[in-house]
Structure 1
Amino acid sequence: MFCVGLGSGWSWRIMLTIPLKFITVHFFLGCITCCLINYAKPGDDPNIPAIARYFGTKGRYEEVNPYLIEDILAVNKSIVQLPSAECREIHVTAIIRHGTRYPTTKNVKKMQQMHNLVLHKASGKERWLREIQNHWQMWYTEDMDGRLVQKGVDDHKHLAVRLSKLLPSLISEEKLRGGHISFITSSKHRCVNSTLAFKAGLTELWTIEDREFDHVVNDALMRFFDQCTKFVEDVSNNPSAMAEFDKFKSGPEMKRVQEKIADRLRVQYSLITDDMAEAAFYLCAYEFAIKTVNTPWCQLFDEVDAQVMEYANDLKQFWKRGYGHDINSKSSCVLFHDVFSRLDKAAQESKSGQEVSEAVTVQVGHAETLLPLLTLLGFFKDSDRLTSANFATQAQRSFRTSHTLPYAANLLLVLYDCGESGLRLQPLLNEKPLVFPGMADQQVSIPLYQDVREHYKELLEGCDFETECQLFTHPSRA
């Protein structure tokens, strides 16, 4: 039997499955879902949790690009279909999330509470439960607090090598030694260390031992959300801004997940709060992302549970960083203008026959850096807003952080000089081509740079960070 599917923003793929006589109803439904999102079916690899595709911003990069499981340095250069043989890349801006990290102190505390509950309250003879109670050690400590792990170092080293293979004329030893590659990072340890890892990926690739390459710490660009007063006051510090997320956490779907966890542990329903459910889900996700271990904690969730947990995380991201509030995306105006000023400079230098002075810009930040910018650019916008009431109708939503914002997620904007046909701009997310929203009717897959600028004219002429982020005094507050 063949299963053919098309997921949002994903390519067609044919997947050969097992003979019909072995297919259960549960498997058949699972196959449909898997085909739609272009993943192998759960259970193919016992080392990978069946729910790994639902980990949202706690997911590893390999679940977004499964071919990397077999070859972490694999690159599909055919994904970029240039309109003519004249085209040559002249600049790329890469905005990259830090690599895999430890949980934050806040989440470690919740995970410790969940572990204590399982140790002292849970009963049952299931093998997975005995594994947790008798063998699994709570090794997460509060001082880890979101720091980069070795897997996160490898995430960026490997990404650097793959991007050098994808764009060899830009990300090259010559460009690096010539000072044409710049590095900018958030001040957070996980971002600085990711930047160091990215640079190490290149210097080790080319065996550069006689030089070190600087990076610049710039929180105004990479942590703009902390410096946008309107965002901080109206969203970040405003509990009512997350009302839909809070409603979902106390709604029937989450309640059912909590009850199922309580049933599996044989404890009172009242002991499994939404925080406890989240902590158990994170224990599964972190063990896999950091150690590539399919931990017994994952047995507390089936696929439906994982879909609910993923939706809860997406709701949080939607209302705090995405389309939920206008200021979420407008807070990234400073990064938006910085990106286009670099593209403009490269375009002008290329037009005048000069060598592009900054061929590559590598900017390392957070999921909270990438998501507002993607939102400002209009990517992954569904016809209906995500709310606490429409979980059932959002199964095929575009706004899905499991697909877009794993560890080491990256947005590339590649500028090409195509000779007489002009300059063209190609966006890629996680090494896959994107189409600029509202520009799908273009006759070529890579639009003219001038057309992209015209498409975003309103933002380029406006979207002033200081104006957008100013906190106006409402009459009721006067």
Structure 2
Amino acid sequence: MSIIFWKTIVVYFTSILAFCCCFRSNVNREDNPNIPAIAKYFSTKGRYEEVNPYLIEDILAVNRSILQPPSAQCREIHVTAIIRHGTRYPTSKNVKKMQKLYQLVKSGASGKQSWLREIQTQWRMWYTEDMDGRLVKKGVSDHKHLAVRLSKLFPSLISEEKLRGGFFKFITSSKHRCVNSTLSFKAGLTELWAITDMEFDHAVNDALMRFFDQCTRFVQEVDNNPSALSEMDKFKQGPEMRRVQEKIADRLGVPYNNITDDMAEAAFYLCAYEFAIKTVNSPWCQLFDEVDAQVMEYANDLKQFWKRAYGYDINSKSSCILFHDVFSRLDKAAKENKSGQQVTEAVTVQVGHAETLLPLLTLLGFSKDNDTLTSTNYATQAKRSFRTSHTLPYAANLLLVLYDCGGGDLRLQPLLNEKPVTFPGLTDQRASIPLYQDVRGHYSDLLKGCDFETECQLFKHPAEV
């Protein structure tokens, strides 16, 4: 029989096996009383395990066959990993909203349901403002486990030899949750290999990992501009959100005007944080059914779309500095490899925020729909690609893996949350990982331009010139 026949058989059975594994994990997730039915709609407050359900059964599970290099002689020579911090406490701003809702429920709710009585008599408000977004124990585990899984995916790169040899570079945002996530990632590796005689440095670089703070045009035109989120604001005042608020009021037995959109958001966050931090299916989750959760998810997606993604051009262009940094590392690895040298930076681990990752993913063209997300097209966006619940959970990551396939054939594979993806708009790549030069060609306009300083300066009015 032909080689093509046997390859077809292998692909077929691999697909069936992957489907069965996924199906089993999904069944377990849905049957598990500890997992809220609405957990898959928590957007940027979601667990990484909801994006990769097989990890619920085995947190260190990997499947190297998904990498599918174009030929057997291909070998990884460099990987850049841009990773969001792990699970964190709510910010002080959200804690205030949650405390306000809790007081209303404690003193004013009159419903008779058992879950409501549990909130009123047993549940205690344990979130405090000083927690303010700090990494939690689960967030430490998120990065430790991710480090181990990546070492299993790329054993020749993410290895003890490479770490000890100084071929790793760690870069982080200055925020506690990012620094501690970086320390956790390193600890995952040093504990895996029982390294106790060495320590490994990391660099704090906010210019790279918090570029959004330093982009004047973004700060003034979007971040500090109340009208920039007008579509989200209109949606929160619209019929879908109003119905969610009324249903919450009915379940609590309070007047409709007591439940604002902020109160609804606080209730949704309470459910999400209790689950992400403590793996608890909290009684707060009973305030929402799946229809409600989809509306809440869309409200947050509107926020992310207009504030960090395709809503305004400057959102993605603010990440130009990180974009160029990534490609300069890839170029350096390619050049060293071509000249026969050892690649001096085999692994780059860069830890930042959802606000770091989303603009870069947007600049690269991921999760782009034909239609803009607005306050009025919720009903037609049910199957949208732009779903932060799918792309930006805690510890979300973009991996760019550079392969040497022999004869000067360099190829680049992107993975999003450990799953291979294709570069948007890059043709003739489905059968294999694209040539690195083709990727560079595809993004040539950004590589030639996309200057951070130019993009981020405020435009001057003619009278000021």
TM-score by length of 1: 0.92
Which amino acid in 2 is paired with 1:79? I
In the other structure, the counterpart of 1:448 is 435
In the other structure, the counterpart of 1:341 is 328
| Aligned counterpart in structure 1 of residue 423 of structure 2, from 431, 436, 442 | 436
Provide Cα deviations, 1:348-398, integer angstroms capped at 9, x if missing partner. 000000000000000000000000000000000000010000111001110
In the other structure, the counterpart of 2:268 is 281
In the other structure, the counterpart of 1:3 is none
Q: CA deviation at 1:472?
A: 1.2
What's the secondary structure of 2:81's corresponding residue?
A: strand
In the other structure, the counterpart of 1:305 is 292
Q: CA deviation at 1:41?
A: 8.3
Which amino acid in 2 is paired with 1:275? D
Which amino acid in 1 is paired with 2:244? V
In the other structure, the counterpart of 2:47 is 60
| Aligned counterpart in structure 1 of residue 308 of structure 2, from 309, 316, 321 | 321
C-alpha separation in 1, matches of 2:441 and 2:410: 14
In the other structure, the counterpart of 1:51 is 38
Matches within 5 A, 1:229-378: 229-378=216-365
C-alpha separation in 2, matches of 1:204 and 1:318: 39
Report the RMSD for the aligned CA atoms in angstroms: 1.7
Maintained 8 Å contact 1:47/1:294: yes
C-alpha separation in 1, matches of 2:248 and 2:430: 51
C-alpha separation in 1, matches of 2:384 and 2:160: 41
In the other structure, the counterpart of 1:120 is 107
In the other structure, the counterpart of 2:67 is 80
Which amino acid in 1 is paired with 2:370? S
In the other structure, the counterpart of 1:111 is 98
Q: 1:114 to 1:477 in 2, by over 3 A?
A: farther
C-alpha separation in 2, matches of 1:68 and 1:42: 10
Q: CA deviation at 1:444?
A: 3.0
Maintained 8 Å contact 2:338/2:408: no
C-alpha separation in 1, matches of 2:64 and 2:20: 22
| Pairing 1:401–2:391 present | no
Corresponding pairs, count: 449
In the other structure, the counterpart of 1:228 is 215
Which amino acid in 2 is paired with 1:406? P
Q: Give aligned-pair identity as a percent.
A: 81
Which amino acid in 2 is paired with 1:405? L
Q: 1:299 to 1:443 in 2, by over 3 A?
A: closer
Which amino acid in 1 is paired with 2:386? F
Larger mean CA deviation between 468-477 and 323-332 belongs to 468-477
Maintained 8 Å contact 2:88/2:133: yes
Q: CA deviation at 1:44?
A: 1.0
C-alpha separation in 2, matches of 1:311 and 1:335: 28
C-alpha separation in 2, matches of 1:128 and 1:259: 18
Q: CA deviation at 1:40?
A: 4.2
C-alpha separation in 2, matches of 1:404 and 1:14: 20
Unaligned runs of 5+ in 1: 1-10, 17-33
Which amino acid in 2 is paired with 1:427? P
C-alpha separation in 2, matches of 1:45 and 1:468: 48
Q: 1:54 to 1:162 in 2, by over 3 A?
A: same
| Pairing 1:137–2:138 present | no
Provide Cα deviations, 1:310-359, integer angstroms capped at 9, x if missing partner. 00000000000000000000000000000000000000000000000000
In the other structure, the counterpart of 1:91 is 78
In the other structure, the counterpart of 2:174 is 187
What's the secondary structure of 1:90's corresponding residue?
A: strand
C-alpha separation in 1, matches of 2:463 and 2:236: 30
In the other structure, the counterpart of 1:6 is none
What's the secondary structure of 2:328's corresponding residue?
A: helix
What's the secondary structure of 2:381's corresponding residue?
A: coil
Q: CA deviation at 1:227?
A: 0.2
What's the secondary structure of 2:146's corresponding residue?
A: helix
Larger mean CA deviation between 281-290 and 435-444 belongs to 435-444
Maintained 8 Å contact 2:271/2:281: yes
| Aligned counterpart in structure 2 of residue 70 of structure 1, from 34, 57, 80 | 57
C-alpha separation in 2, matches of 1:415 and 1:170: 11
What's the secondary structure of 1:419's corresponding residue?
A: coil
- Structure holding more helix per residue: 2
In the other structure, the counterpart of 2:375 is 388
Provide Cα deviations, 1:218-244, integer angstroms capped at 9, x if missing partner. 000000000000000000011111110
Provide Cα deviations, 1:260-301, integer angstroms capped at 9, x if missing partner. 000000100000000000000000000000000000000000
Q: 1:327 to 1:83 in 2, by over 3 A?
A: same
C-alpha separation in 2, matches of 1:346 and 1:420: 16
Maintained 8 Å contact 1:42/1:51: no
Maintained 8 Å contact 2:135/2:180: yes
